[in-house]
Chains A and B, each alone.
Chain A
């Protein structure tokens, strides 16, 4: 593969990156000040989300035209800086996170008020800071900046996971923070120091081929660092460090939706793939044969998590394990190291986000409307909540990978990538996981639409959840369909990444 340096010629230093990053931070500040007036508070959330999204959107066309935005904020040491960068790879994640923040801001308004939750100001403040962290990760120019924002996301989502402040919430939150900080300190901190010792810098290059390491780098050490980075960014949910994710499902559903289907887990996957493509580079990964073995390794997570999902009756738990499984698709695609494989992996960042947030939104809407958490209690419920379950059905099709929904594009690219790479064992993994996806999603939809009501249930007085919830969830599922039929918007960004 030839090294393409299309982006390197056109680096624009601009402070608009900083402004984009400051929007959620300022938003969180205003939200925390306006706690006594819920309507003002929620409008701050929504307005910041809209501003952030439009700022990110305005950067798309220059980035597609080959520009890379760049801004250095602080210089810590020679080669260690806090620097922002927006390239095509950043834009994929920044667009997903910022657009879904708008949906989630509306949705959480409906959810939190519908259930009369406590500490809504703290909730909304931390929510906005988490978005700040996610956008920061997307805009990271180097490993240090990425690590900084990664840790910010860990710390400020803790209050969200522990929101209910009962024993169950503390247990889940404790597990969450222990897993995330321990892996970060144990694997990322030494990696940062070692890479700095080896290369004298933590800056990512501007293409996915060359990587950060010198040609004469000790291959055993690089392999070790590769493994460290795979496990260190434990937000990616790769087994065996995935336990925090189901544990964190004690959080209110909007948190699960945005953070544990989009922001937090995608931060993990984004960091992992950024490190693989830009840190190690496709060339070095190919040379040291790190790609295919890693693909098989995460393939285990894909299959195993799906099997576990089959056994869960709690809807959110099933979705959580589905997330664990789907996240590894992204890593698997990138590890194939072929253009189609990388495309399939990266585009799944967007595809999975829109579909999975729909599923979580639906789970929350069902809970608000009926206070039901278990799949076995939802028989025939679709007749009273048609919009919610309609959106749910569409999103499950995406998870399964059926056309015309977004997930199909992923599966298609991944299959081509697998054939390109010649590792046919991976095809078996993809097939098995598709069957398992059908196995754990189809019954939910089937029962809701065609199943019998559980004995004694009359569903009296149950109707659709508030509009503030139904509209976002329908919108998200609609987007899943749109990017399934017209995948070009994200596809162009992915192509710009591959060069």
Chain B
């Protein structure tokens, strides 16, 4: 167990994971809609607050998993309850805990029916998502991975738009198809190792054929989740139909599970396959960036526009990961956080307008700047962040990814540049319509205090990461270096054996 630094005393990770679930159980018995809302807000806020020590007590000097918890679960099959976080998962855990209260706040008046059930879904979702980022045992990971599907399915299917059933089933089938492949890979790895411990599977001497098959199984599961072109078609449907909080969770956190999977499983467990197949993934990323950009440019529905922009932005993340150097990978991890912040905020903005106009069409919102100056200011800043305007969060991530890319392969890096131009084009197009064209909507009210409070934290992070990203980059240095080292070790070993030319 030398990969894990066990947590002495209070089991912080388990508390963070199970607090929302416990809150959901209590919520079952709470009467009154406002009580239910306030309770959900309180539970998610407390979870957010108690997750903050993870950052302050995080040890920057080690790549080992920290705050570790290890309990034997099914000894006969060597299945354990193992939790721990490193520099790669820390920020994702914090992103999850901090975004959930804002999701609750953003759904305050948006959700009008079955409020109790909605909040329960959100809280079960939170437990599952946090568990996925913390689990170090494959069975635990897989159970939580699958557990996310059901509340998400309900969120879209019950509280969604007109085509909610189609969208939720499509989402469910796509993700399930990927998960099945993941299960196959897990069992194959178990048969080799006799253990489900994820860190124990890393750095083993698997044959390259075995690695390629395992990599492909992993890849399918995670590429659907990211989603990478051509596995993305579930995403626009799900986003458009999902309620605001569902879209925010999807965009901000669920999509990150795919790229997190690449970092946590593909690279360290199957490094040889990563080296062999990585270049193909890079080109797939470029295609995703360009495809997402072009498609976003053609949308008239704001939610679809943002959904397709996600395909492009996540393309930058996978691009950064598979260049396998420090700058690119840190840029990719930062870009995961940035996308969570920016796209989450944009979906909240669209949701706020949907509450007022019951439309997501750009044309129905043209010229609203004169009537809703506060809303439009927020929208402008988040849109600029989305197109990687300098001094906003996305610029730092994109710049690091590009720097990492240009230091390895200038052709692939250059091929991704049109994606950055397209991002400017579709966001500017959206802004032009919202700010200028059209007569405006004097019948609409500007944002209220609750809505401003929902968006303000996102704004803080846009500029905090944009202007002083060091606190965010610091935590990942050691873990990223260790991850690259794991891949390099495999590479050197294979060069020595003349398997890789």
- The interface residues of chain B lying within 8 Å CB-to-CB of A173 are 432
The reply to whether B421 and A193 contact each other, CB–CB distance below 8 Å, is: no
5 tightest Cβ-Cβ pairs between the two chains A and B? A193-B402, A148-B390, A74-B467, A185-B421, A197-B407
- The interface residues of chain A lying within 8 Å CB-to-CB of B399 are 77, 80, 189, 192-193, 196
Which residue in chain B gives the minimum CB-CB distance to A186?
B421
| A151: Cβ under 8 A from any B Cβ | yes
| A 204-220 to B, binary, CB cutoff 8 A, 1 in contact else 0 | 00000000000000000
Extra pairs beyond A185-B421, A190-B406 (17, CB < 8 Å): A74-B468, A76-B466, A77-B399, A77-B469, A148-B390, A151-B390, A170-B437, A177-B432, A178-B425, A178-B428, A182-B425, A185-B420, A189-B417, A190-B417, A194-B410, A196-B399, A197-B406
The reply to whether B403 and A193 contact each other, CB–CB distance below 8 Å, is: yes
The reply to whether A181 and B428 contact each other, CB–CB distance below 8 Å, is: yes
- The interface residues of chain A lying within 8 Å CB-to-CB of B2 are none
Q: For the complex, what is the distance from the CA of A172 to the CA of B437, rounded to whole Å?
A: 14
Residue picked from A80, A151, A155, A189, most chain B C-beta under 10 Å: A189
- The interface residues of chain A lying within 8 Å CB-to-CB of B406 are 190, 193-194, 197
Q: A76-B469, A147-B390, A148-B390 are in contact. Are A185 and B403 (CB under 8 A)?
A: no
Chain A to chain B contacts (Cβ below 8 Å), 8 pairs: A74-B468, A155-B389, A182-B424, A186-B417, A190-B406, A190-B417, A192-B399, A193-B405
| A75: Cβ under 8 A from any B Cβ | yes
| B311: Cβ under 8 A from any A Cβ | no
Picked from A148, A159, A193, the residue with its CB within 8 Å of the CB of B391 is A148
Q: For the complex, what is the distance from the CA of A178 to the CA of B467, rounded to whole Å?
A: 26
The reply to whether A75 and B468 contact each other, CB–CB distance below 8 Å, is: yes
Nearest-neighbour CB distance to chain B for A377, whole angstroms, equals: 31
| A 349-387 to B, binary, CB cutoff 8 A, 1 in contact else 0 | 000000000000000000000000000000000000000
| B414: Cβ under 8 A from any A Cβ | yes
| B400: Cβ under 8 A from any A Cβ | yes
The reply to whether B402 and A76 contact each other, CB–CB distance below 8 Å, is: no
Q: For the complex, what is the distance from the CA of A196 to the CA of B467, rounded to whole Å?
A: 17
- The interface residues of chain A lying within 8 Å CB-to-CB of B424 are 181-182, 185
| A 28-64 to B, binary, CB cutoff 8 A, 1 in contact else 0 | 0000000000000000000000000000000000000
- The interface residues of chain B lying within 8 Å CB-to-CB of A151 are 389-390
- A interface size (C-beta, 8 A): 30
Picked from A77, A144, A155, the residue with its CB within 8 Å of the CB of B400 is A77
The reply to whether A77 and B396 contact each other, CB–CB distance below 8 Å, is: yes
- B interface size (C-beta, 8 A): 32
| A453: Cβ under 8 A from any B Cβ | no
Q: For the complex, what is the distance from the CA of A390 to the CA of B437, rounded to whole Å?
A: 41
Nearest-neighbour CB distance to chain A for B397, whole angstroms, equals: 11
Picked from A80, A147, A189, A197, the residue with its CB within 8 Å of the CB of B420 is A189
- The interface residues of chain A lying within 8 Å CB-to-CB of B432 are 170, 173-174, 177
| A82: Cβ under 8 A from any B Cβ | yes
| A165: Cβ under 8 A from any B Cβ | yes
Residue picked from A80, A177, A185, most chain B C-beta under 10 Å: A185
| A234: Cβ under 8 A from any B Cβ | no
| B384: Cβ under 8 A from any A Cβ | yes
| B443: Cβ under 8 A from any A Cβ | no
Which residue in chain A gives the minimum CB-CB distance to B396?
A76
| B 398-418 to A, binary, CB cutoff 8 A, 1 in contact else 0 | 011011011100100110011
| A 65-94 to B, binary, CB cutoff 8 A, 1 in contact else 0 | 000000000111100101000000000000
- The interface residues of chain A lying within 8 Å CB-to-CB of B402 are 189-190, 193
- The interface residues of chain A lying within 8 Å CB-to-CB of B467 are 74, 76, 82
Residue picked from A77, A162, A177, most chain B C-beta under 10 Å: A77
Nearest-neighbour CB distance to chain B for A110, whole angstroms, equals: 26
Q: For the complex, what is the distance from the CA of A193 to the CA of B384, rounded to whole Å?
A: 19
Interfacial residues, chain B to chain A (CB-CB below 8 A): 384, 389-391, 396, 399-400, 402-403, 405-407, 410, 413-414, 417-418, 420-421, 424-425, 428, 432, 435-437, 466-470, 473
Q: For the complex, what is the distance from the CA of A16 to the CA of B412, rounded to whole Å?
A: 44
Picked from B384, B405, B436, B473, the residue with its CB within 8 Å of the CB of A162 is B436
- The interface residues of chain B lying within 8 Å CB-to-CB of A80 are 399
The reply to whether B414 and A190 contact each other, CB–CB distance below 8 Å, is: yes
Q: Give residues 147-203 of A contacting B (CB, 8 Å).
A: 147-148, 151, 155, 159, 162, 165, 170, 173-174, 177-178, 181-182, 185-186, 189-190, 192-194, 196-197
- The interface residues of chain B lying within 8 Å CB-to-CB of A193 are 399, 402-403, 405-406, 413
- The interface residues of chain A lying within 8 Å CB-to-CB of B410 are 194
Q: For the complex, what is the distance from the CA of A196 to the CA of B327, rounded to whole Å?
A: 11
Nearest-neighbour CB distance to chain B for A93, whole angstroms, equals: 20
Nearest-neighbour CB distance to chain B for A324, whole angstroms, equals: 24
Q: For the complex, what is the distance from the CA of A190 to the CA of B435, rounded to whole Å?
A: 30
Q: For the complex, what is the distance from the CA of A181 to the CA of B469, rounded to whole Å?
A: 25
Which residue in chain A gives the minimum CB-CB distance to B469?
A76
Q: For the complex, what is the distance from the CA of A194 to the CA of B399, rounded to whole Å?
A: 10
- The interface residues of chain A lying within 8 Å CB-to-CB of B390 are 144, 147-148, 151
Q: A74-B467, A177-B428, A185-B417 are in contact. Are A159 and B435 (CB under 8 A)?
A: yes
Q: For the complex, what is the distance from the CA of A178 to the CA of B421, rounded to whole Å?
A: 9
Q: A185-B417, A194-B406 are in contact. Are A82 and B391 (CB under 8 A)?
A: yes
Nearest-neighbour CB distance to chain B for A310, whole angstroms, equals: 34
Which residue in chain A gives the minimum CB-CB distance to B429?
A174
Residue picked from B391, B425, B473, most chain A C-beta under 10 Å: B391
Q: A80-B399, A148-B391, A181-B428 are in contact. Are A170 and B436 (CB under 8 A)?
A: yes
Q: For the complex, what is the distance from the CA of A147 to the CA of B389, rounded to whole Å?
A: 10
Residue picked from B405, B406, B437, B473, most chain A C-beta under 10 Å: B406
- The interface residues of chain A lying within 8 Å CB-to-CB of B468 are 74-76
Nearest-neighbour CB distance to chain B for A160, whole angstroms, equals: 12
- The interface residues of chain A lying within 8 Å CB-to-CB of B469 are 76-77
- The interface residues of chain B lying within 8 Å CB-to-CB of A181 are 421, 424-425, 428
Which residue in chain B gives the minimum CB-CB distance to A224?
B410
Nearest-neighbour CB distance to chain A for B425, whole angstroms, equals: 7
Q: For the complex, what is the distance from the CA of A77 to the CA of B404, rounded to whole Å?
A: 13
The reply to whether A182 and B421 contact each other, CB–CB distance below 8 Å, is: yes
- The interface residues of chain B lying within 8 Å CB-to-CB of A76 are 396, 466-469
The reply to whether A197 and B389 contact each other, CB–CB distance below 8 Å, is: no
Nearest-neighbour CB distance to chain A for B81, whole angstroms, equals: 39
Nearest-neighbour CB distance to chain A for B386, whole angstroms, equals: 13
Which residue in chain A gives the minimum CB-CB distance to B473?
A77
Q: Give residues 102-145 of A contacting B (CB, 8 Å).
A: 144
- The interface residues of chain B lying within 8 Å CB-to-CB of A77 are 396, 399-400, 469, 473
Q: For the complex, what is the distance from the CA of A178 to the CA of B429, rounded to whole Å?
A: 10
Q: For the complex, what is the distance from the CA of A359 to the CA of B402, rounded to whole Å?
A: 44
Nearest-neighbour CB distance to chain B for A105, whole angstroms, equals: 24
Nearest-neighbour CB distance to chain A for B300, whole angstroms, equals: 17
Q: For the complex, what is the distance from the CA of A159 to the CA of B406, rounded to whole Å?
A: 35
Q: For the complex, what is the distance from the CA of A13 to the CA of B432, rounded to whole Å?
A: 40
Nearest-neighbour CB distance to chain A for B211, whole angstroms, equals: 30
Nearest-neighbour CB distance to chain B for A80, whole angstroms, equals: 7
The reply to whether B414 and A75 contact each other, CB–CB distance below 8 Å, is: no
Which residue in chain B gives the minimum CB-CB distance to A146?
B390
- The interface residues of chain B lying within 8 Å CB-to-CB of A162 are 436
Nearest-neighbour CB distance to chain B for A166, whole angstroms, equals: 11
Which residue in chain A gives the minimum CB-CB distance to B401?
A193
Nearest-neighbour CB distance to chain B for A164, whole angstroms, equals: 11
- The interface residues of chain A lying within 8 Å CB-to-CB of B389 are 151, 155
Q: A75-B468, A148-B390, A185-B424 are in contact. Are A197 and B403 (CB under 8 A)?
A: yes
Which residue in chain B gives the minimum CB-CB distance to A148?
B390
Q: For the complex, what is the distance from the CA of A290 to the CA of B396, rounded to whole Å?
A: 31
Q: Give residues 282-297 of A contacting B (CB, 8 Å).
A: none
Q: For the complex, what is the distance from the CA of A162 to the CA of B428, rounded to whole Å?
A: 13
Nearest-neighbour CB distance to chain B for A241, whole angstroms, equals: 14
